[in-house]
């Protein structure tokens, strides 16, 4: 039997780095085929009812338009639930598509997970 994770173009992990905070680590390719998995990961993370959801995207190798849509939907759903959403990314592979789509100003973006978590509970923007 082959290891299905070796073939998966996307990897999603949910952690709870501190009470009231969910950390979603996303790596690989986020495109039409894998964006539903990102949506499911966001839904699972929000089901934990965090006050802060951090989505770490530095492991992303490709971010397509459906991935951008999934991030935008995550922002809206988090907002509906009274949860703050922060993205962690320093990679041009993620930042450039956000810029081109005109979405970059809609997100709070940190360069590291500790940076995103450091502002937890403060009004940083």
The string of pLDDT tens digits covering residues 94-110 is 999 999 999 999 999 99
pLDDT for residue 84: 97
Q: Which domain holds residue 17?
A: 7-116
**Could you tell me if residue 121 is inside a domain?**
no
- In tens, the pLDDT along 59-118 reads 999 999 999 999 999 999 999 999 999 999 999 999 999 999 999 999 999 999 999 998
Query: What percentage of residues in the chain have a pLDDT greater than 70?
Result: 89
Q: What is the CATH number of the domain that holds 104?
A: 3.30.750.24
**Could you tell me if residue 123 is inside a domain?**
no
Sign of the torsion formed by the C-alpha atoms of 26, 14, 119 and 67:
positive
Count of all residues that appear for the chain in the document: 125
Of 2, 86, 14, 3, nearest in space to 45 by CA: 14
**Could you tell me if residue 23 is inside a domain?**
yes
Task: Look up residue 34 and give its two tokens.
Answer: 């894998």
**Could you tell me if residue 2 is inside a domain?**
no
**Could you tell me if residue 124 is inside a domain?**
no
**Three-class DSSP category at 46:** helix
Please give the average per-residue pLDDT across 28-32, as a whole number.
97
**Could you tell me if residue 1 is inside a domain?**
no
Domain count, the chain: 1
**Could you tell me if residue 110 is inside a domain?**
yes
b/e per residue 62-82 (b: at least 16 CB within 10 A): ebbebbbbbbeebbebbeeee
Do residues 51 and 21 make contact, with C-beta atoms less than 8 angstroms apart?
Answer: yes
Neighbours of 15 (CB within 10 A): 14
**Could you tell me if residue 46 is inside a domain?**
yes
Do residues 75 and 55 make contact, with C-beta atoms less than 8 angstroms apart?
Answer: no
């Amino acid at each position: 039997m082959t290891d299905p994770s070796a073939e998966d173009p996307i990897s999603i992990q949910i952690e709870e780095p501190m009470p009231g905070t969910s950390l979603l680590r996303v790596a690989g390719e986020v495109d039409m085929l894998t964006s539903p998995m990102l949506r499911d990961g966001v839904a699972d993370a929000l089901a934990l009812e965090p006050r802060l959801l951090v989505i770490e995207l530095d492991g992303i190798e490709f971010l397509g338009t459906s991935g951008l849509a999934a991030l935008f939907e995550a922002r809206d759903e988090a907002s509906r639930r009274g949860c703050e959403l922060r993205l962690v990314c320093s990679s041009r592979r993620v930042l450039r598509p956000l810029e081109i789509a005109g979405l970059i100003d809609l997100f709070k973006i940190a360069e590291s997970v500790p940076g995103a978590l450091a502002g937890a509970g403060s009004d940083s923007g």
